[in-house]
């Protein structure tokens, strides 16, 4: 079974690489660098495959038959835990210009996954004064869920009821705000608490393994309601009860929670993702958060903004 899965996977990868060369030139992910204000183009790993899977008819067929299944992500996770995978590390660092000096034990990674969920050195990410980003990545912020509906092409398919699968929580956050932090494969993949408070236990929601790349989300935000995910709530004095949803995706082998329920401090580690692109979704009760102006402006322009764990993103 594994041998068959590998054959199908590599055939699909080969096919999509040779079918979407023209699409690669068309579908580019633009974002705004928060420090400089400049617009950049993201270097997307396997962009050809994503264009094929979420754009071409044959790709969508392969997506529904194979790529969204646990089998493919499990195979990818298995390979990324082998010593053979470590050979990919130097090239990946060079291709994506990763500053490896920020991380602990940078010269001792024995597998790609060890590198992928690497730990930061102490004090590399200063923790801000207000509500902070829980992760490195690119962020979108929405003062109301109505703003979410207008941002995505088919945003109306996204409902809190499907996303949360909990009537009480749906009612609690239905008039609230949302922040989406997207972690691309080159990003630091541990995530942290955005504020101090009391953290609940984590609740798991089973699902598929669709990509959370903008190349996929342009089709529908409904992907967030389909993917495997876990959520917990953080009871805070300043920002009310924050719901933190950890969303897995294609090639994410697992979501690991490293925190203990109870009192936590802002910036404490909450967990990490194994190999793949991933997303954190933060939900706020109505009137509990005012997002920073630059993040709001950029989102209204249809652009993500680069963010680092610990950077301020809003006030109460």
181 contacts 135 by C-beta, under 8 angstroms? yes
Which residue is listed with tokens 């096919």? 15
As a whole number of angstroms, the longest Cα–Cα distance in the chain is 54
From the list 130, 189, 192, 308, the catalytic residue is 192
Residue 196 is a catalytic residue: no
Residue 99 is a catalytic residue: no
Pair type for strands 39-41 and 30-32: antiparallel
From the list 73, 85, 278, 308, the catalytic residue is 278
CA atoms within 13 A on the CB side of 284: 26
* DSSP code at position 84: G
241 contacts 227 by C-beta, under 8 angstroms? no
273 contacts 255 by C-beta, under 8 angstroms? yes
d(CA 279, CA 274): 12
From the list 27, 136, 241, 292, the catalytic residue is 136
Residue 40 is a catalytic residue: no
Give the residue numbers annotated as catalytic, written as ranges: 136, 192, 278
């Amino acid at each position: 079974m594994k041998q068959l899965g590998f054959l199908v996977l590599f055939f699909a990868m080969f096919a999509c690489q040779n079918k979407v060369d023209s699409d690669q030139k068309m579908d580019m992910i633009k974002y705004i660098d928060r420090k400089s204000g400049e617009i950049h183009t993201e270097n997307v790993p396997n962009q050809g495959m994503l264009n094929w899977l979420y754009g071409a008819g044959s790709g969508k067929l392969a997506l529904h038959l194979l790529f969204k299944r646990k089998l493919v992500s499990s195979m990818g996770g298995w390979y990324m835990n082998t010593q053979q995978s470590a050979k990919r590390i130097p090239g990946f660092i060079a291709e994506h210009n990763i500053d490896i000096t920020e991380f602990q034990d940078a010269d001792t990674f024995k597998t790609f996954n060890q590198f992928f969920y690497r730990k930061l050195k102490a004090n590399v990410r200063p923790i801000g004064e207000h509500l902070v980003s829980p992760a490195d990545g690119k962020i979108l912020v929405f003062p109301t869920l109505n703003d979410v509906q207008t941002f995505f092409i088919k945003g109306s398919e996204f409902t809190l009821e499907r996303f949360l699968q909990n009537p009480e929580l749906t009612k609690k956050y239905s008039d609230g705000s949302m922040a989406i932090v997207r972690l691309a494969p080159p990003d630091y993949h541990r995530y942290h608490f955005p504020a101090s408070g009391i953290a609940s236990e984590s609740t798991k929601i089973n699902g598929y393994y669709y990509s959370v790349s903008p190349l996929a989300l342009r089709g529908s935000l409904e992907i967030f309601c389909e993917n495997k995910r876990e959520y917990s709530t953080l009871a805070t004095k300043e920002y009310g009860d924050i719901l933190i949803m950890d969303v897995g995706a294609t090639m994410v082998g697992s979501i690991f929670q490293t925190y203990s329920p109870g009192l936590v401090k802002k910036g404490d580690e909450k967990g990490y993702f194994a190999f793949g692109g991933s997303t954190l979704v933060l939900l706020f009760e109505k009137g509990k958060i005012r997002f920073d102006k630059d993040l709001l402006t950029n989102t209204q322009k249809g652009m993500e903004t680069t963010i680092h764990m610990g950077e301020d993103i809003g006030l109460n």
